[in-house]
């Protein structure tokens, strides 16, 4: 059975190389494939699923496309179930985005990190002075 599927797959591949000049022949080959008993081992060995899928996508014949799609759907049932994929975390759902939004929307932005040894800023937003030193002339309060 595997050799018959391999032969049909080669004929379909040749049709692809000839740019699907004969959709009737492609439809006939797909009908023959439909009658074959195909399992996962045959699919892996012959790669017929890939060939049929390519044919399905590139043909201009709606009948060939529909039958190819039906075969692919049937054969996909042979594949082992995959773990469900985790949805990708959208950037807007991430904590980084939320922090950027807070920064953009706050009037002055986030406060810069403070040095533990730096003096406290002067009250009223003036220029900070060191203890025992006055503010420079013309600046500050």
Mean pLDDT of the chain: 76
pLDDT tens for 87-122 read 665 555 666 555 555 555 556 656 666 666 666 655
DSSP of 19-84: TT--HHHHHHHHHHHHHS---HHHHHHH-HHHHHHHHHHH-S-HHHHHHHHHHHHHHHTTSPPPPP
**pLDDT value at residue 3:** 87
Is the predicted pLDDT of residue 27 greater than 80, yes or no? Answer: yes
């Amino acid at each position: 059975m595997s050799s018959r599927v391999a032969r049909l797959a080669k004929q379909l591949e040749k049709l692809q190389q000839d740019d699907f000049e004969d959709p009737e022949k492609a439809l006939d080959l797909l009908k023959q494939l439909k009658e074959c008993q195909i399992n996962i081992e045959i699919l892996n060995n012959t790669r017929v699923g890939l060939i049929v899928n390519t044919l399905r996508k590139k043909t201009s014949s709606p009948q060939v496309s529909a039958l190819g799609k039906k075969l692919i759907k049937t054969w996909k049932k042979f594949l082992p179930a995959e773990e469900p994929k985790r949805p990708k975390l959208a950037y807007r759902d991430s904590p980084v985005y939320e922090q950027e939004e807070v920064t953009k929307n706050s009037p002055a932005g986030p406060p810069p990190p403070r040095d533990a040894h730096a003096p406290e800023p002067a009250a009223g937003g003036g220029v900070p002075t060191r203890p025992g030193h006055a503010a420079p002339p013309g600046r500050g309060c």
